[in-house]
Amino acid sequence: MSERRAGLARVVSRFAQAVFVVWAAATLAFVLLRLAPGDPYLTRFEGFDVSEAQREVWRANRGYDAPMAEQYVRFLRNSASGNLGFSTLQQRAVSDVLRDVLPNTLLLMGLALCTSVLLGMAIGAWQSTRSDSTADQTVSTVSLVAYSMPEFWLALLLLQLFALKLGWFPAAGAVSAAYQHQPAWDQFIDRLEHLILPWLTLSIVGTAVFARFQRGAMRDTWNEPYVRTARAKGLTEWAVRKHAWRAALSPMITLVGLALPALLGGAVFVERIFSWPGMGDVTIRAVEARDYELVTAAVIIGSVLTVSGSLLADWLSQLADPRTRR
């Protein structure tokens, strides 16, 4: 019973921490946006013949003329009820905007994460069995170069090479103009062609990260006494590698949780470069337009994904290694 209570207390504590992180991120975004110069109606109609009186009417209609404390209370009340506000840039509810763009971002991030984890762990495990060899040093150098490249620079490089020079893939968007008039298989190919370059951009950097960490974790595991004992008992090399890989799995699971916010941050610039209709592209445009509600909602979604990745990593680590359950 005591273990069950301790487990329940741990779950409640982690959930409370997650809620606090989301609240703190949303509050910080709310305050900083309103302290910055300008507002949605100053930026949106800049250069147009719109009187200041008309702007004040629009601000009053949206409640921007109220004291910040009053705006904050209204923001908390609306957010708690699921009302994320109205986008002045998109001229529709923020929830509708997120409903359209969030699946595209999750698709891109999900594919990039799966590719990075599977390929990176395979490369890292392979390197650990050939430690300090020419092949290991070559792959380590390539991984370091890929790891050092910013996503936006790599995106520009791939865009210039494969889209503009070679013409192998589309340069922008999620689908072509004729997408709706194509057969189902052609629609799938069309969407895949638009997805490949942003997917490849995020996957290259992610694979390099996981490969380097997996190599280090496996090299540490090879020096453990139980590995030498397993070899002394006559286990096959494949069986020894399998047990060593399972022992090195826990830090990699933690890295998966940490990779979610990094992927989200990289996706913001990658989506903008490739005009991928995801949350990152919409968020940058919303920041430029001082769209308070849409930017704040994007911060909330990002913080939810971050804490969800952390909670998932903790849970998977406990499943992989019962010693972490304390």
How much is the pLDDT for 62? 75
The count of structural domains within the chain is 1
Measured at the alpha carbon of residue 79, what is the angle toward residues 74 and 83, in degrees to the nearest 5?
95
Residue 157 lies in a domain: yes
Residue 25 lies in a domain: no
119-140 mean pLDDT: 80
Per-chain mean pLDDT for the chain = 79
Nearest to 292 by CA among 103, 84, 145: 84
Residue 123 lies in a domain: yes
- Name the more confident of 307 and 316: 307
113-134 mean pLDDT: 82
User: In the numeric block, which tokens belong to residue 144?
Assistant: 């370091």
Q: What is the DSSP letter of 65?
A: T
How much is the pLDDT for 237? 66
Least confident of 15-24, 168-177, 281-290, 310-319: 310-319
Residue 58 lies in a domain: no
Tell me how far apart the alpha carbons of residues 265 and 268 are, in angstroms, rounded to a whole number: 5
Residue 59 lies in a domain: no
What's the Cα-to-Cα distance from 272 to each of 103, 152, 204, 226, 283, rounded to whole Å?
16, 9, 18, 49, 9
Strands 92-93 and 86-87: antiparallel
Q: Where are the beta strands (DSSP E) in the chain?
A: 86-87, 92-93
Q: pLDDT grade, residue 113 (50/70/90)? A: confident
pLDDT for residue 228 is more than 80: no
Q: pLDDT grade, residue 268 (50/70/90)? A: confident
Percent of the chain with pLDDT over 90: 2
* pLDDT, tens digit (0-9, with 9 covering 90-100), for 67-103: 888 888 888 888 888 888 888 888 888 888 888 888 8
Tell me how far apart the alpha carbons of residues 157 and 31 are, in angstroms, rounded to a whole number: 37
Residue 41 lies in a domain: no
Q: What is the CATH number of the domain that holds 199?
A: 1.10.3720.10
- Domain membership of residue 193 as a residue range: 98-324
Residue 170 lies in a domain: yes
Residue 32 lies in a domain: no
